[in-house]
Structure formats: structure tokens, C-alpha cells
Structure 1
Amino acid sequence: MALPLQKREVLRGRYRIRKRIGQGGIGSVYLAEDQRLEGRLCAIKEVEHDRSLPPKIFEEAREQFMREASVLARLDHPNLPKVSDFFSRENRDYLVMDYVPGEDLRTHMLDARRNKTFLRTDVVIGWANQIANALTYLHSQDPPIIHRDIKPSNLKLTPSGLIKLVDFGLVKMLVPDEMTITIIQGQGTILYTPLEQYGSDGTHTDPRSDIYSLGATLYHLLTNTPPADARKRFLRPESLITPRKINSSINRRTERGIKWAMELHPNKRPDTAEDFRLFLLGQKEIITSPLPQLHQQEKKNTLRDMLAQPTEQILAWLIFGMMILSLLTTLGN
């Protein structure tokens, strides 16, 4: 692999490199200043092609990058960073997009775990609402775009409370008879990858593959526990611990939704990201605004809280009360 770009190096006569902010197996991501638009920061994703590729294969890979980068540049959605430019230099290709400030959701989850608590379920469902909207937009393109790498570290929470799906590393265009993978070939991150995505070309993936990854992401965010990967679950179905056994504050609808999205067979999952979103939301209020408190807080149960509990919990309280009353009566005699 060639040397990384240097600080203050200028690309395309326009983008001055500040620092490297990410690194992968075949490239890096850099924070840069746009010298034509004062004050604008951008993220530049670099893809370095294998120098040993035959010239014809190299040219095909570059043409594929240009073709699919142009598709990404046409996308316009509030939960996706805007791709503003793309170009090549020597054996490297570059994708320029908006720099998204804020921490990724993995960082927020780890912060909750360090504090021995969990992220609030209503907050996470609010995030899921935004992510599902972005996926619905991607899947509705012609041809449909499959992200293939939904995970907590690829989701950023901006200071305004907006979720951004920041990495297009494995995006795939569903073109009939021409299955292609954008920018970086790969299978995603194992914890969040469905069975059908394993393999070299991913020809069996479709929008339901992203739904699985979103379900696995919600599982991790709400339990602070990585889900058992799909291959392990295929061999040992009991290896996936139900979310409420880890975090009892997760409501039953959310647990059912996560398990539905994480079904091993695609036909058993929600057909669309919109179906999944609507199931998760139910009648609950959507939270998307900036939140001063993301973690759960302990609170004392009031009578109103007790009456709002599921029926089996109310019965338990009544039985407990009757036992106390019986004991007091016995002592009084």
C-alpha cells in the first residue's frame, strides 16, 4: 500500500488535507478543507486499487467506481451525507462528501455500558425511525441501492439530533444481470451480516439484508451486548439471547420487532424497511430532537406507574399486598 496523504496536501487543486480520520484495508478517510467554499469541511474517502491487477481489470474497476459514484452523487436525503465530488489519481479513487460532526452510536452505547446502564429505548427507536427512512429512500432508487454495512459505528448522531448513515463502503446497486458492489468489495461486519450476504459477490442480497443489519444494530444498542452472528445462530439457534433477558426495560413490541428483523431466512423478515419502521413505532411518540439525557435513569414507582404495568405485574403486586395484610392480621391476633 502506498503512503497515506500528508497534512496540508491538496487534492484536485481544491481539497486541503487536515488529518486522517479513518483507515481500512484498502484505503483511508480524510478530513479536508474545501478551498473554494470557505469554512466548509468535507470527508474524503480514498480507495486504493491492487497494483497487481491486470490493466483491463483495473480499468473495469475504475469505470465501475465512476459509474456508481455518480449515482451516489445524485442522492439527496437528510439522513445521508451529500456526495459532492469524485475523481481519480494514479491508482486511487476518491469520493468527497459532507463531513458529519458528532459521535457515532457505538460511542454512545459504550458510554452507557461504562456507566452500567442502557440507552433509552424510546431514544433508540427514534434513531431507528430515521435510519429506516434513509433505507426506504435507498431501496426505492432505480435501481435499488443496498447499503450492506449498517452498524453502530456507521451511524453518527449530530448535535442537532439527526442520524447520518455515514459510510457507503459496501453499497450495492441491484442491476438485473449485473450485480455490482460500489467502492469496496466485502461482506460487511460479521455481527450485523445476514447469512445471504456471505460469499464473494453478494448476489443473493436484497433490501431485507439491510433490515437484518438494522435489527442486529438495534439489538446491540439496546443491550450493550453484541448479537450472536448469523453463522453461529444457524448452527446453534439458541445462541441468540432474547433482548429482554439482558435489558428488561425493552418493551415487548421492540423485542418482537428486533427478532423479526433478525430472522435467518429473508422471507421471514419484514418485506421493507417501512414495514419494520411502522411496526417498531406502534403508537409511540417519535424522538428525534437533541436529547440532554440518552441513558436510562432509575426512578421511584408511583401509583400511576404501577397501574400502567402489564397485567401480570399488577397481579403480582396484589398478591404481595394480600400476603402483607394477612401477616399483619396474624400478628395482631
Structure 2
Amino acid sequence: MARLLETHILLKDSYNIVGPIGQCGVGAVYGAEDILLTGRVCAVKEITPDPDLTPELRKQLQDQFRQEASILARLDHPNLPKVSDHFTQNDREYLVMDFVPGQNLHEIISQTQNQQTYLAQSQVLDWADQLCDALNYLHTQTPPILHRDIKPSNIKVTPSGLLKLVDFGLVKLLTSDEARTVTVVQGQGTAAYTPLEQYGSDDAHTDIRSDVYALGATLYHLLTNHSPATARERFLYPEILIKPREINSHIAPSIQDAVLYALELHPDNRPDSIQDFKTALHRAVVPSRIAPLLLTKQEWQNAIHKNIEVMIAAVLLIVTAMVLT
């Protein structure tokens, strides 16, 4: 893990490092003061290349980073932090973006879990709509942009209730020539939210539906307080995924169906787009207070299978009564 920058180091003669916000294997994120704009606090993301890379590959990654950073800087959406600057210093790459105050969704889930309750379905749907809007915006850029690391800890809720998708660490640009795929850092995301096609170093098969899977896994976690079984575990043990309503019966059957639709292991079996997933989420949604009274199609089938003998006996009794009268 790369060594953290010391407090009060000045980057690019502009950004005074206040302290680290987070750290991972490929770099860190710092809070910083913009000394050229008094009062502005920003987040500076540092990406440290693998020291074992050849000079040629290091140069290639640097060029890729600059290309992608320039594209991110052009993005403008209320649910995405604005990237305002990017630069290289001491062989490290930096992205400067808005500092987003508030808690991340992982922290909120932990609090809810400690209170032995669940987040309101209506609240989760509101957040889902905001995330769908942000991801649809990314996916409809030219070329399309994949996030590839959607998870609760990468999503913050501001004090005003606005959601921000804050981390672009594994972002990928889809080009017409997949040999030219641009990725800022190497990585596969976090296991519970990562689709099977994103495992391994070759991510040529990832596309928009990979983000759909990660969003579905995030909503599963928000609705149940539990992250879903990983795609790898499910590939080996298909029955290991617990259905959301078995954990939280207040989830509407249609919401469960939509989440499981997004979590299909094969991309071809998932929604084709974020908009398709959003439509599925809002299909005949019922209030959470009556959701426990309703059954999904699978639950109906299971109930019929378990009670088939009783149902046959009831039908015979009705027929007998009709004959005798």
C-alpha cells in the first residue's frame, strides 16, 4: 500500500493537503484546501502506479489516466461530484473533485442494522432512482462510461438528501475497439457487488449490464442489511443466494423480482440497461406495510406444491357437496 502524503503538503502550488479521507491498494483520497479559491474544500484522489511496471507501461497508463480524467472533467450531473482538475506530480496521478459531505450508504446500513430495523422501502427507491439517473447519464456518454465499482461505501448522502456516486477508481470507457479500453487502475471491484464477468484481469466482457449487477447488489444490501452472496459463490453453489423477502418480508414482491433480475449471473439474463432496471423497480410497487401479505409468483408456486394434497381434498369436498345437494 502506497505511503500517505503528509499533512500540509502543497500539490501543484494549489492544494493544501488537510488529511486522508480513505485509502486503498492503488492510492488514497485526501481532503484539501484550494488556496487559489479561499474557502473551497475539495477531495484529491491520488493514484499510485505499480512500481514494478516497465517505463513503457507506466507511460501508457499515464496517457490513459489523462485521457480519462479529461473526459470525467467534462461530466456535469447533480449526482456526480464535479472533477475540476487533474495533474501528475512525483510520478503520481491526481484527480481533484468536489468534496462531498455526509455519510456513505455503508455507514447508514450499519446504523440501521445496529438499530435492528430496515431502511424504508420508499427511501431505498428514492436513492435507487437517483443512482439510475447518474448511471444512465454515464452510460449514454460518447463513448459510454462504466463505473465498475458501485457499492454502498462509494455512495454518499449529502445533508440535503442528494446522493453522490463519489468514486471513479475503476471507471472504464467503452470504445469501438475494445483493445483500446481505457481503465484508470487495475482491479475487479468489491466481491459482493462484482459480476462474474468482471473477475480476473481480462475485463473485455464487462459492459453496461455489469453496472446493473452492481446496482442490484447494492439495493439488495440496502433492503436487507446484508450483502448478497458473491457471484463466484453463486456459480459454485446456485442456491446460496437468499431471496430478499426471506430476510425482510416488508419488501414488495415486485422489488424483489427486480433486484434478483439485476443479479442474474449471465449478463444476457439481466436488464439491458439501467433504464430497463428502473422500469422493473417501479412495476406495480405496493406499500411496504402490506408487502408481507403478498406473495411472489415463486412463493405461490411453492405454497401450491406444499399444500397440493389439501387443495385436492378441498376440491373433492366441494364437488361432493354439490352432487349431494
TM value normalised by structure 1: 0.84
- Whether the aligned pair in 1 keeps the contact of 2:28 and 2:46 (CA below 8 Å) is yes
Q: 1:213 Cα deviation (Å)?
A: 0.4
The corresponding residue for 1:318 is: none
Q: 1:179 Cα deviation (Å)?
A: 4.2
Q: 1:52 Cα deviation (Å)?
A: 2.8
- Whether the aligned pair in 2 keeps the contact of 1:187 and 1:197 (CA below 8 Å) is yes
- Whether the aligned pair in 2 keeps the contact of 1:130 and 1:163 (CA below 8 Å) is yes
SS of residue paired to 1:16: strand
The corresponding residue for 1:316 is: none
The corresponding residue for 1:141 is: 141
SS of residue paired to 2:69: helix
Give a deviation string over 1:194-253, Cα, whole Å, max 9, x none. 111112031000000000000011101111112010111111111000000000011111
**Within 2, Cα distance between the matches of 1:228 and 1:106?**
17
Question: Match of 1:186, as an amino acid?
Answer: G
The corresponding residue for 1:88 is: 88
Q: 1:72 Cα deviation (Å)?
A: 0.6
The corresponding residue for 2:110 is: 110
C-alpha change, 1:133 and 1:311, in structure 2 (3 Å) is: closer
**Within 2, Cα distance between the matches of 1:156 and 1:311?**
33
C-alpha change, 1:56 and 1:280, in structure 2 (3 Å) is: same
The corresponding residue for 1:184 is: 185
Greater length-normalized contact order (CA 8 Å, ≥ 6 residues apart): 1
Question: Match of 1:277, as an amino acid?
Answer: K
Give a deviation string over 1:103-145, Cα, whole Å, max 9, x none. 0001010100000011111100110000011110000011110
C-alpha change, 1:219 and 1:2, in structure 2 (3 Å) is: closer
The corresponding residue for 2:194 is: 193
Q: 1:88 Cα deviation (Å)?
A: 0.2
The corresponding residue for 1:267 is: 268
Give a deviation string over 1:300-327, Cα, whole Å, max 9, x none. xxxxx79x95499xxxxxxxxxxxxxxx
**Within 2, Cα distance between the matches of 1:81 and 1:98?**
5
**Within 2, Cα distance between the matches of 1:215 and 1:52?**
36
Question: Match of 1:89, as an amino acid?
Answer: Q
**Within 2, Cα distance between the matches of 1:186 and 1:3?**
19
- Whether the aligned pair in 2 keeps the contact of 1:31 and 1:43 (CA below 8 Å) is yes
C-alpha change, 1:55 and 1:78, in structure 2 (3 Å) is: same
Q: 1:6 Cα deviation (Å)?
A: 1.3
* Residue 155 of structure 1 pairs with residue 150 of structure 2: no
* Residue 232 of structure 1 pairs with residue 233 of structure 2: yes
The corresponding residue for 2:218 is: 217
**Within 2, Cα distance between the matches of 1:54 and 1:139?**
33
**Within 2, Cα distance between the matches of 1:179 and 1:264?**
26
C-alpha change, 1:141 and 1:22, in structure 2 (3 Å) is: same
Question: Match of 2:186, as an amino acid?
Answer: Q
**Within 1, Cα distance between the matches of 2:283 and 2:227?**
26
SS of residue paired to 1:175: coil
Question: Match of 2:273, as an amino acid?
Answer: T
**Within 2, Cα distance between the matches of 1:71 and 1:39?**
27
| Larger displacement relative to structure 2 (275-284 or 111-120) | 275-284
**Within 2, Cα distance between the matches of 1:147 and 1:224?**
23
- Whether the aligned pair in 2 keeps the contact of 1:51 and 1:91 (CA below 8 Å) is no
Size of the alignment, in residue pairs? Answer: 294
Q: 1:4 Cα deviation (Å)?
A: 2.0
The corresponding residue for 2:101 is: 101
**Within 2, Cα distance between the matches of 1:132 and 1:33?**
31
C-alpha change, 1:100 and 1:57, in structure 2 (3 Å) is: same
Q: 1:90 Cα deviation (Å)?
A: 1.9
Q: 1:48 Cα deviation (Å)?
A: 1.0
Aligned Cα root-mean-square deviation (Å): 2.0
**Within 2, Cα distance between the matches of 1:41 and 1:244?**
42
C-alpha change, 1:2 and 1:211, in structure 2 (3 Å) is: closer
Question: Match of 1:45, as an amino acid?
Answer: K
Give a deviation string over 1:157-185, Cα, whole Å, max 9, x none. 01111110000000000112234343211
The corresponding residue for 1:249 is: 250
TM value normalised by structure 2: 0.86
Unaligned residue ranges in structure 2 (runs of 5+): 297-325
- Whether the aligned pair in 2 keeps the contact of 1:179 and 1:203 (CA below 8 Å) is no
1:10-25 → structure 2 map (5 Å cutoff): 10-25=10-25
- Whether the aligned pair in 2 keeps the contact of 1:156 and 1:166 (CA below 8 Å) is yes
**Within 1, Cα distance between the matches of 2:184 and 2:18?**
23
Q: 1:5 Cα deviation (Å)?
A: 1.4
The corresponding residue for 1:127 is: 127
- Whether the aligned pair in 2 keeps the contact of 1:170 and 1:181 (CA below 8 Å) is no
- Whether the aligned pair in 2 keeps the contact of 1:151 and 1:214 (CA below 8 Å) is yes
